[in-house]
Amino acid sequence: MPAKPQFRVGLVQMAMSTTPGENVDKALAKVREAARTGAEVVCLPELYRSPYFCQKEDAALFDLAEPVPGPSTEAFGRAAAEAGVAVVVPIFERRATGLYHNSAVVIDADGEIVGLYRKMHIPDDPLFYEKFYFTPGDLGFQAFDVKPGRIGTLICWDQWYPEGARLTALRGAVVLFYPTAIGWHPSEKVEHGADQHSAWQTIQRSHAIANGTYVAVVNRVGHEIPPGGGDGLEFWGSSFLADPLGVVVAEASPDREEILVGEISLPRIEDVRRNWPFLRDRRIDAYAGIDQRLLDQE
Amino acid sequence: MPAKPQFRVGLVQMAMSTTPGENVDKALAKVREAARTGAEVVCLPELYRSPYFCQKEDAALFDLAEPVPGPSTEAFGRAAAEAGVAVVVPIFERRATGLYHNSAVVIDADGEIVGLYRKMHIPDDPLFYEKFYFTPGDLGFQAFDVKPGRIGTLICWDQWYPEGARLTALRGAVVLFYPTAIGWHPSEKVEHGADQHSAWQTIQRSHAIANGTYVAVVNRVGHEIPPGGGDGLEFWGSSFLADPLGVVVAEASPDREEILVGEISLPRIEDVRRNWPFLRDRRIDAYAGIDQRLLDQE
C-alpha cells in the first residue's frame, strides 16, 4: 500500500490519577475522541498509566509495571481496531523478574502490535530517579510502519540527543513521537522555568529541522506531589507539533488536558527537503568519533 | 597555563565592499575596537574579504583566493599580537592550483597561527553555488587552544549538522564559532523569511543545548547584488551568542554593522552540565549507522 500523502496525528495531553484503571479509561476515551476528530495516529504521554512515580525510589512501585502483551496493549489493541486508529502507548514494561524498561508500544489501526521501542537514554536527577527503575533500551532507534505512514518513537530524555532523532529519521520515519513527562521543580520555576521550557522546545524543533521530519511531543499536565510529600513536580504540558522546518504548527497549554490534532504532509516534507537539502551534504566520511564518550585521548 | 574561568568574545557583524583591501582594513579596525572593549577572541564573518561571490559561478573569481599563510593571516597576525587578542579569520583558501577551500584560520593573541579549519559541509543552492568553488574540508572537526581557552570553528552550512557540533564539543571546545554568510532571497522574504531565520537560530541554539557549550554566530549584513544584476541576497545579520542552555545572551540587528561582545563562563558551563547532564547518558554503544547515508538497506 503506498504511503498516504497526508495523515493526521493526535497528541493526548492529560493529567494522571493515582488509580491505573482510571488512567486507562481516560486515555481510551481520549484516543476515541482523537479518532473522531480525524486523528489516524494517536500518541499518549510517557508512563500514561500512573502518576510519574520516579519522584522516589521504591521497589514496591515495580508492581505498576506490565508485560507486552499485557493490559495496556490489550485495551488499546481493541480500541485501535474499533476506532481504526494507530496508537503509540508508552508503558512501564516488565520484561522479566527484575528487568524493566520505559517503553512505547506501537499498535496499528487493526489492533496489532507492530513495534516496541525501549527508551534508550535514561535520566537520573532529583525527582527523576529513572535509573533505579529502567534498564536502558536494547532495541536501538527504529521506525515502524503503521497504516497511515512510517513513524518513529523516542521517549522524553531521548529528546536531548540529536543522534537518536537522526538515526530514527534515517530509517525513514516522517514523524518522531516523543511521549514525555517533564516539568518544573516549583522552587526553580520562577528563575529558570522559561529557559528550561525554551531549551526543551528548541532542541526538539531542531530535530525536525536537521532531519526534515515532523516532531510530535506529548507531555502530561498536573502538579504531582509524591506520597511522601514535598514540592513535587509541575508538569508543563505544552505538547506541540513541529513541521519539517521546525515551525510549531500546534501547541497545547501548559496546564490543561487537551487533544492536539495536526497534519503530517509528505508534500511538505518533500518541499522542505528540496529547498534545504541537508541530507544531501552529510559528511558521513567524517563522523568517526561520535561513538566515543569524549575525544580527549588524541 | 590553566584555562581562564571567564573570557570575552567579540562577534564582528559587518558589510563588505567590492574592494578586498577595504574589507581587510575595516575588519582590522573592528578587531582592534572589539579588543578595546574587552574581547579576547574575535571572530569575523565567513569570506570576510569580499562580497559573497558565490552568487554566480565564475572561474575568474578564484583570483579572490589567498594562501595560508598569506595576506589575511599576515595582517591579522600583526593585529592580533598588537592588540593581544585571538582572531578567527575566515578566508577563501587557495591550497594549490585548482584546489580551494572555504576555511577559517585561528590566530592566537601572540599573532601565531594555531589552527586551520576547512568547511566540511558545502552547500549548493540558487545563489549559493559553493560546490563550484570549495572542495569539502579534509581536516575534520577540531578544537583549538588559544590563550583565553579552547574554541571550535565551524562555518555556515555546518550549522545545520548536529554531528559537527557534537564532535567539536567532544574535543573540548567551550564555544563554537560559526562565521556565516546567510541571507534571504528577497522574493522569499515576506512569505518564508521569519521561518527561515527562526530555523537558523533554533538549530544553532540546539547545538549549545545538546553539548553544554556556548555558540557564537557571526553573519554579515547588506543587500548584495552580483555584478550581472538580479535580486541578489539580503544578508540577515542577527549575529548572536547563545549560552550552554541555549539562551540568547547577545543578539545583533538584522541590518547594521555591530560588534557584539559577550562572556564565555566556564562556571556557567559547569553549572548547566551538572544540572542537565546530557553527556553522561549518551548511548555511544547504539549510534552505529550515523555514518550511513540512509538506513534503507536493512
Q: Is the peptide bond before B69 cis (omega within 30 degrees of 0)?
A: yes
pTM (whole model) above 0.95:
yes
| Cα–Cα distance list, B74 to A147, B30, B70, B90 (Å) | 63, 16, 6, 13
Side by side, the strands of the sheet bearing A175-179 are A143-146, A149-153, A175-179, A214-218, A240-242, A248-251
Flag if B291 and A287 touch (Cβ within 8 Å): yes
- Joined together, the cell numbers standing for residue B184 give 534571504
DSSP track, A68-136: SSSHHHHHHHHHHHHHT-EEEEEEEEEEETTEEEEEEEEE-TTS-EEEEEE--S---BTTB-HHHH-PP
Residue A1 has pLDDT above 90, yes or no: no
Dist CA A223 CA B188 (whole Å): 44
Flag if A296 and B121 touch (Cβ within 8 Å): no
Burial class (CB in 10 A: 0-12, 13-18, 19+), A266: middle
Dist CA B79 CA B29 (whole Å): 9
pLDDT value at position A4? 82
- % of residues, chain A, pLDDT over 90: 97
Flag if A199 and B290 touch (Cβ within 8 Å): no
Flag if A292 and B284 touch (Cβ within 8 Å): yes
Residue A297: list chain B partners with CB under 8 A: none
Query: Does the CA dihedral B194-B199-B204-B210 come out positive or negative?
Result: positive
Choosing from A130, A156, A224, A251, which is the catalytic residue?
A156
Residue A284: list chain B partners with CB under 8 A: 291-293
Amino acid at A88: V
Each of the 298 residues of chain B gets a pLDDT tens digit; together they read 556 899 999 999 999 999 999 999 999 999 999 999 999 999 999 999 999 999 999 999 999 999 999 999 999 999 999 999 999 999 999 999 999 999 999 999 999 999 999 999 999 999 999 999 999 999 999 999 999 999 999 999 999 999 999 999 999 999 999 999 999 999 999 999 999 999 999 999 999 999 999 999 999 999 999 988 999 999 999 999 999 999 999 999 999 999 999 999 999 999 999 999 999 999 999 999 999 999 997 5
Beta carbon pairs, A and B, within 8 Å = 158
Cβ(A47)–Cβ(A181) under 8 Å? yes
Choosing from A40, A119, A234, A251, which is the catalytic residue?
A119
Q: Which of B131, B155, B160, B176 to mutate to test the interface with A (most CBs of A within 10 A)?
A: B160
Which H helix or E strand runs over B230? none
Flag if B203 and A246 touch (Cβ within 8 Å): yes
Cβ(A261)–Cβ(A34) under 8 Å? yes
Cβ(B290)–Cβ(A163) under 8 Å? yes
Helix (H, G, I), strand (E, B) or coil at B128: strand
- % of residues, chain A, pLDDT over 70: 99
Residue of B282, B285, B295 with shortest CB distance to A161: B282
Average pLDDT, chain A: 97
pLDDT value at position B297? 76
Flag if A245 and B296 touch (Cβ within 8 Å): no
Residue of B196, B246, B277 with shortest CB distance to A202: B246
Per the annotation, the verdict on A298 as an active-site residue is: no
Flag if A282 and B136 touch (Cβ within 8 Å): no
Residue of A198, A199, A284 with shortest CB distance to B292: A284
Per the annotation, the verdict on A163 as an active-site residue is: no
Higher pLDDT residue, A297 or B135? B135
In chain A, whose CA is at the least distance from the CA of B203? Answer: A206
Question: How far from chain centre, in Å, is Cα B237?
Answer: 13
Choosing from B156, B224, B234, B251, which is the catalytic residue?
B156
pLDDT value at position B21? 97
Residue of B125, B206, B281 with shortest CB distance to A122: B281
Residue A140: list chain B partners with CB under 8 A: 286
pLDDT value at position A64? 98
DSSP one-letter code for B188: H
Taking residues A286-297, what's their average pLDDT? 96
Closest Cα partner for A254 from A197, A297, A296, A187? A197
- Joined together, the cell numbers standing for residue A249 give 504548527
Flag if A125 and B209 touch (Cβ within 8 Å): no
Per the annotation, the verdict on A189 as an active-site residue is: no
Residue of B170, B196, B205 with shortest CB distance to A295: B170
Flag if A199 and B209 touch (Cβ within 8 Å): yes
Closest Cα partner for A23 from A62, A50, A46, A52? A50
pLDDT value at position A2? 58
* Distance (Å) from the alpha carbon of A163 to chain B's nearest alpha carbon: 7
Helices (H), A137-254: 162-170, 186-211
Helix (H, G, I), strand (E, B) or coil at A223: strand
